């Protein structure tokens, strides 16, 4: 019998752990033939690179489609649908498609693309998964006083707050069938319970799995059977009355970083600068003098992680580059001066 191919949409704010989750899913997906569609904000394709070098046999380079340049939710017809069409022509047929949206994308416009007749005939959206950085929520990164705001919204559902971070984060939550409450390693049990309550107050119908390092059973995450394209109307958005959305609220730029002799000191400086300038996300690859491998650096707010992920290729220039993402008005000149 003809079967629709299930698609999982993975949303979640910058640095929440979407790529980490996907890596885990493909490692644990058994024999499923999976293709990944990855969309990233910022001009260095770090997520695709991370997944290509993940070393999982079933995840081949040709199974990863990178849609760079902006925001999937704004380029559905031009970029996204042709990419999906190409995946549907694969023989043998794929078992599953996972789409990682950029951390600033609104999932609902993307979900709507799956309601188009030519797409819905062949694909079903198994589920929308929102990855949430539990520590960022606990720190009030998105909403200063989440409990007070949930109470306010319960009294008046139309209440709006002019905070772009909050709008993106909430749109992602409100569209989800499953929340992966990630980074619980950074919180005590009472904080995890509090954050869980805050999420339930925003979206009462969503399932929540608390975890760390994106560890979740692939059979659960890829077997939600939500048919999300059939109940788009029950997923409210702050942007329901608009055509598309703009990205004027956020800014990103790429820094060229000279070769480093003392990466530890440099990374401490990165964390310090990210904190002082309210950087939302920093990531890229650094060239450490004398090391055959490139240093993959990941910053979420002021929290940094790094590891040597692979050797520089023979035909590749050893070039340190970091993408920096912040809210509009982020002080690029000061950051450049501090890191150059
Ligand atoms: N402490 C901690 N760090 C985590 C966890 N999961 C992921 N990270 C780290 O958080 C950083 C961002 O993770 P990613 O998986 O790249 O996040 P993302 O959502 O794909 O990021 P963008 O695509 O830039 O939005 C990386 O340094 C991860 O190693 C976790 O459970 N705990």
- ipTM score assigned to the predicted complex: 0.99
Task: Find how far residue 28's CA is from the centre of its chain.
Answer: 19
Query: Nearest Cα to 101, choosing from 172, 153, 187?
Result: 172
Per-residue pLDDT at 50: 79
Per-residue pLDDT at 23: 93
Q: Please state which of the ranges 53-62, 189-198, 206-215 shows the lowest mean pLDDT.
A: 53-62
CA nearest ligand 1 atom 30, residue = 183
What class has domain 5-234? alpha beta
CA nearest ligand 1 atom 26, residue = 298
11, 101 contact by CB (below 8 A) = yes
CA nearest ligand 1 atom 15, residue = 17
Residue 336 or residue 116, greater confidence: 336
Count other Cβ atoms within 10 Å, centred on residue 15: 23
Residues 55-93: tens digit of each pLDDT = 777 667 778 888 876 666 666 767 788 889 899 998 889
How many angstroms does the Cα of residue 119 sit away from the middle of ligand 1? 31
Ligand 1 pocket list (CB less than 6 A): 12, 14-20, 40, 47, 103, 131, 182-183, 185-186, 212-214, 281, 298, 300, 305
Per-residue pLDDT at 273 exceeds 90:
yes
Looking from the CA of residue 283, the nearest atom of ligand 1 is 24
Per-residue pLDDT at 242 exceeds 90:
no
Structure tokens at 189: 């049990």
Mean pLDDT, rounded, of the chain: 89
CA nearest ligand 1 atom 6, residue = 213
Residue 148 or residue 313, greater confidence: 313
Per-residue pLDDT at 163: 82
Every domain of the chain with CATH number 3.30.1220.10 lies at 250-339
Per-residue pLDDT at 46: 80
250-339 adopts what CATH topology?
Hypothetical Protein Yjia; Chain: A;domain 2 (3.30.1220)
Check whether the bond before 247 is cis (ω within 30° of 0): no
Count other Cβ atoms within 10 Å, centred on residue 12: 28
Residue 59 or residue 210, greater confidence: 210
The values of phi and psi at residue 153, to 5°, are: -70, -35
Every domain of the chain with CATH number 3.40.50.300 lies at 5-234
| HEC profile of the chain | CCCCEEEEEEECCCCCCHHHHHHHHHHCCCCCCEEEEEECCCCCCHHHHHHHCCCCCCCCHHHEEEECCCCHHHCHHHHHHHHHHHHHCCCCCCCEEEEECCCCCCHHHHHHHCCCHHHHCCEEEEEEEEEEEHHHHHCCCCCCCHHHHHHHHHHCCCCCCCCHHHHHHHHHHHCCCEEEEECHHHCCHHHHHHHHHHHHHHCCCCEEEECCCCCCCHHHHCCCCCCHHHCHHHCCCCCCCCCCCCCCCEEEEEEEECCECCHHHHHHHHHHHHHHCCEEEEEEEECECCCCEEEEEEEECCEEEEEEEEECCCCCCCCEEEEEEEECCCCHHHHHHHHC
Measured CA to CA in angstroms, residue 130 lies from 12, 49, 58, 124, 225 at distances of: 5, 22, 24, 18, 16
């Amino acid at each position: 019998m003809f079967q629709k191919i299930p698609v999982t949409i993975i949303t979640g704010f910058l640095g929440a752990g979407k790529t980490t989750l996907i890596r885990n899913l493909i490692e644990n997906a058994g024999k499923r033939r999976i293709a990944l569609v990855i969309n990233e904000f910022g001009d260095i394709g770090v997520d695709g690179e991370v997944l290509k070098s993940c070393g999982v046999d079933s995840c081949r380079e040709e199974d990863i489609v990178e849609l760079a340049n902006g925001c999937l939710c704004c380029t559905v017809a031009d970029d996204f649908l042709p990419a999906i069409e190409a995946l549907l022509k694969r023989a043998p047929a794929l078992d599953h498609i996972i789409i990682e949206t950029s951390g600033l994308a609104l999932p609902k416009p993307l979900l709507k693309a799956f309601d188009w007749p030519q797409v819905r005939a062949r694909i079903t959206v198994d589920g929308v998964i929102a990855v949430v950085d539990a520590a960022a929520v606990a720190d009030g990164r998105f909403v200063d006083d989440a409990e007070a705001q949930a109470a306010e919204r319960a009294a008046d559902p139309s209440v709006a707050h002019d905070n772009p971070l909050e709008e993106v984060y909430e749109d992602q939550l409100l569209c989800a069938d499953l929340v992966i409450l990630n980074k619980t390693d950074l919180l005590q049990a009472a904080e995890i319970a509090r954050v869980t309550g805050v999420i339930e107050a925003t979206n009462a119908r969503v399932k929540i799995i608390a975890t760390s390092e994106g560890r979740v059973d692939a059979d659960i995450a890829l077997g939600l059977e939500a048919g999300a394209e059939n109940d788009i109307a029950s997923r409210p958005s702050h942007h329901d009355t608009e055509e598309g959305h703009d990205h004027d609220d956020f800014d990103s730029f790429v820094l060229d970083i000279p070769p480093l002799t003392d990466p530890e000191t440099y990374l401490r400086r990165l964390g310090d600068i990210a904190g002082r300038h309210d950087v939302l996300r920093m990531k890229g690859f650094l060239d450490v003098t004398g090391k055959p491998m490139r240093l993959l650096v990941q910053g979420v707010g002021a929290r940094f992680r790094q590891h040597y992920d692979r050797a520089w290729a023979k035909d590749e220039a050893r070039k340190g580059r970091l993408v920096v993402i912040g809210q509009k008005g982020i002080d690029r000149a000061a950051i450049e001066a501090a890191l150059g």
